[in-house]
C-alpha cells in the first residue's frame, strides 16, 4: 500500500449547545433500566437543557465498522437504543393532551370554570360507551377538578362540543403537529388530525367517536416528547416558545425566537395552569406523590396512553392489569410539568414506554429531574432570576 494523495484537515466550526451536561447526565442515569425519554426546556427562551433518550449505545463501536453481533444486538433490542425517542418517538399523548382540549373549549366559548359535567364512569356516544379511567366515575366536576382528577368523561364532552378542527387548531398553536426546526436527524412532525386528513389517509369519514378519543389524547393524535415539552413551555409562559438547541454557531450567539404572546385569553391560560397546579399539589391530584420538596411547587399533568384495544368482554370481566400483560402491550406512561409555579423557568416532559401509569412511572422521574434542574440553576445555564441567585450554590472545584 502507498499514499496516493493527502489533504490537510481544517478546523471545524465551533458549536455550543444549550444543553447542560450535568442535567443531561442525571436524566440519563434517572431513566436507567427503562425505555424512556426526558426533555427539559427553559420556558423563557426555548433553550433545550436536557434531551435524553434511554437506553443509549456506544458510538465507538461504529468507528472501524461494527460487528454483526453488536449490530444485531442493537437492532433486536426492544428498548430501541438507536432511536432518539425525544424527537423521533411519536406517542399518543394521553391525558397530557387535556390542556389542549381545555384551551380549545375555553377559547371557543363551550366551557367555563364554573360549569359541572357529571361523570358516572362512562359517556355514551352513538350507542358506544367511552369509559373513564375511574370505573365508578368522578361525579360532578368542573374544569379545574377535571384536570386535577384527570376525568375522561369531562374531556369527552368538551371535545365533542368544540370539535376536532378547533382542537387541532389549538394544538398547533401550542406546538403540536409542528416539526421543530432543529439540527438533528429524523425529527418528526407528529399528527394532529382533521376530518380532511382522515378522508385522504384513511379513506373514511370522521366520526364523533374519533373526536371523543382525541379528547383524551388517543385515537389518531401523536406527539413527540419534545413537542410535549414545547406545549408545556407555551402554557407556562403564554409565549410562542420555540425549541433552541444551538446557543452559539461559529462563536456567534444564535437568535432567540418565539417570544411573541400566544393568541389566547390570559385568563383561560390561568384556569388551565390552576388545574395543573392541583395535579401536583392537591392531595387528590394524580401526581401528588411526586410533588417537589424544598419549598418549590411544580404544575403538571399525568398521562397514560393505551397501546392495545380493550374489548367489551375484557371490561365485563375486569380489565387486565398492566403488570399481568407482556411488556410491549402495557400502557405508555407520561408526565409534563413546569416549575416553579409562581415564576416558571423550566418545562419538562417524560415518557416511559410501556411504563403503565403516568403517576407511577413518569411523574417520579420528572420530579427528580426537575429538582436537579432547579438546584443547578445558574451554575449550569447562566443567570437566574434575581430572587434565586442567592440560593445558587457555587460549582465544585475540580483538578485539571
Q: Decide if 101 contacts 155 (C-beta within 8 A).
A: yes
Say what the pLDDT of residue 345 is: 96
Q: Dihedral of CA 358/362/366/368: which sign? A: positive
Say what the pLDDT of residue 9 is: 85
Mark 350-367 as b/e (b = at least 16 C-beta within 10 Å).
bbbbbbbbbbbbbbbbbb
Is the pTM value of this prediction over 0.85? Answer: yes
Within the chain, strands assigned E span 15-17, 36-42, 48-54, 117-119, 122-125, 128-131, 139-141, 246-249, 252-253, 299-305, 332-339, 346-352
Q: Decide if 233 contacts 43 (C-beta within 8 A).
A: yes
DSSP codes joined into one string, 176-228? TTS----SSTT----B---HHHHHHHHSS---HHHHHHHHTT-TT-BB-HHHH
Say what the pLDDT of residue 312 is: 67
* Element at 365 (helix H, strand E): helix 363-376
> Any catalytic annotation for residue 53?
no
Say what the pLDDT of residue 248 is: 92
The alpha-carbon radius of gyration of the chain (Å, integer) is 22
Spatial separation of the C-alpha atoms in residues 366 and 372, rounded to whole Å: 10
Spatial separation of the C-alpha atoms in residues 234 and 298, rounded to whole Å: 15
Coil/strand/helix, residue 88: helix
CB-neighbour burial class of residue 182 (10 A; exposed 0-12, middle 13-18, buried 19+): middle
Instruction: Catalogue all structural domains in the chain, each as residue range(s) with its CATH number.
Output: 15-56+81-378 (3.40.710.10)
Say what the pLDDT of residue 294 is: 82
Q: Decide if 368 contacts 339 (C-beta within 8 A).
A: no
Say what the pLDDT of residue 307 is: 80
Q: How many CB atoms lie within 10 A of CB 74?
A: 16
Tens digit of each residue's pLDDT, the chain (400 residues): 788 888 888 888 999 999 989 999 999 999 999 999 999 999 999 999 999 999 999 999 998 889 999 999 999 999 999 999 999 999 999 999 999 999 999 999 999 999 999 999 999 999 999 999 999 999 999 999 999 999 999 999 999 999 999 999 999 999 999 999 999 999 999 999 999 999 999 999 999 999 999 999 999 999 999 999 999 999 999 999 999 999 999 889 999 988 899 999 999 999 999 999 999 999 999 999 999 988 899 999 999 988 877 766 766 667 778 777 887 888 999 999 999 999 999 999 999 999 999 999 999 999 999 999 999 975 565 443 433 333 333 334 333 3
Q: Which three cell numbers stand for residue 262?
A: 400566544
**Residue for cell digits 366536576?**
141
For 335: left if phi > 0, alpha if psi spans -120 to 50, otherwise beta; the answer is: beta
Q: Decide if 93 contacts 174 (C-beta within 8 A).
A: no
Q: Which three cell numbers stand for residue 232?
A: 408545556
Q: Decide if 353 contacts 322 (C-beta within 8 A).
A: no
Say what the pLDDT of residue 372 is: 96
Coil/strand/helix, residue 104: helix
Say what the pLDDT of residue 386 is: 36
Spatial separation of the C-alpha atoms in residues 262 and 106, rounded to whole Å: 14
Spatial separation of the C-alpha atoms in residues 230 and 19, rounded to whole Å: 15
SS3 for 269-283, per residue? HHHHHHHHHHHHHCC
- With a CB cutoff of 8 Å and minimum separation 6, the contacts of 199 are 205, 206
**Per annotation, catalytic residue among 35, 53, 95, 349:** 95
Amino acid at each position: 500500500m502507498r499514499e496516493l494523495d493527502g489533504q490537510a484537515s481544517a478546523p471545524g466550526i465551533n458549536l455550543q449547545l444549550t444543553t447542560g451536561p450535568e442535567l443531561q447526565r442525571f436524566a440519563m442515569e434517572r431513566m436507567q433500566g427503562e425505555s424512556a425519554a426526558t426533555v427539559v426546556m427553559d420556558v423563557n427562551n426555548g433553550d433545550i437543557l436536557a434531551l435524553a433518550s434511554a437506553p443509549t449505545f456506544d458510538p465507538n463501536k461504529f468507528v472501524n465498522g461494527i460487528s454483526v453481533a453488536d449490530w444485531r444486538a442493537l437492532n433486536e433490542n426492544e428498548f430501541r437504543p438507536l432511536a432518539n425517542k425525544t424527537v423521533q418517538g411519536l406517542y399518543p399523548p394521553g391525558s397530557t393532551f387535556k390542556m389542549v382540549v381545555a384551551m380549545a373549549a375555553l377559547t371557543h366559548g363551550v366551557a367555563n370554570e364554573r360549569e359541572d359535567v357529571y361523570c358516572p364512569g362512562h359517556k355514551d356516544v352513538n350507542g358506544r360507551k367511552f369509559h373513564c379511567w375511574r370505573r365508578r366515575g368522578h361525579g360532578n366536576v368542573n374544569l379545574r377538578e377535571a384536570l386535577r382528577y384527570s376525568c375522561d368523561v369531562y374531556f369527552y364532552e368538551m371535545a365533542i362540543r368544540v370539535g376536532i378542527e378547533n382542537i387541532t387548531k389549538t394544538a398547533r398553536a401550542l406546538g403540536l403537529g409542528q416539526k421543530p426546526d432543529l439540527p438533528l436527524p429524523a425529527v418528526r412532525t407528529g399528527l394532529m388530525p382533521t376530518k380532511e386528513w382522515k378522508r385522504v389517509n384513511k379513506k373514511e369519514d370522521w366520526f364523533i367517536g374519533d373526536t371523543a378519543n382525541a379528547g383524551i389524547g388517543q385515537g389518531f393524535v401523536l406527539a413527540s416528547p419534545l413537542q410535549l415539552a414545547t406545549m408545556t413551555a407555551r402554557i407556562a409562559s403564554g409565549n410562542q416558545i420555540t425549541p433552541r438547541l444551538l446557543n452559539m454557531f461559529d462563536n456567534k450567539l444564535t437568535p432567540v425566537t418565539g417570544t411573541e404572546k400566544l393568541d389566547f385569553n390570559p385568563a383561560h391560560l390561568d384556569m388551565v395552569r390552576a388545574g395543573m397546579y392541583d395535579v401536583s399539589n392537591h392531595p387528590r391530584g394524580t401526581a401528588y406523590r411526586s410533588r417537589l420538596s424544598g419549598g418549590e411547587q411544580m404544575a403538571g399533568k399525568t398521562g397514560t396512553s393505551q397501546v392495545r384495544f380493550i374489548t367489551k368482554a375484557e371490561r365485563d370481566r375486569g380489565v387486565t392489569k398492566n403488570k399481568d400483560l407482556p411488556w410491549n402491550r402495557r400502557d405508555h406512561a407520561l408526565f409534563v410539568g413546569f416549575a416553579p409555579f409562581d415564576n416558571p423557568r423550566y418545562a419538562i416532559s417524560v415518557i416511559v414506554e410501556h411504563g403503565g401509569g403516568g403517576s407511577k412511572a413518569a411523574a417520579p422521574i420528572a420530579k427528580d429531574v426537575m429538582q436537579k434542574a432547579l438546584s443547578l440553576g445558574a451554575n449550569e445555564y447562566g443567570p437566574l432570576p434575581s430572587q434565586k441567585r442567592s440560593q445558587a450554590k457555587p460549582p465544585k472545584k475540580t483538578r485539571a
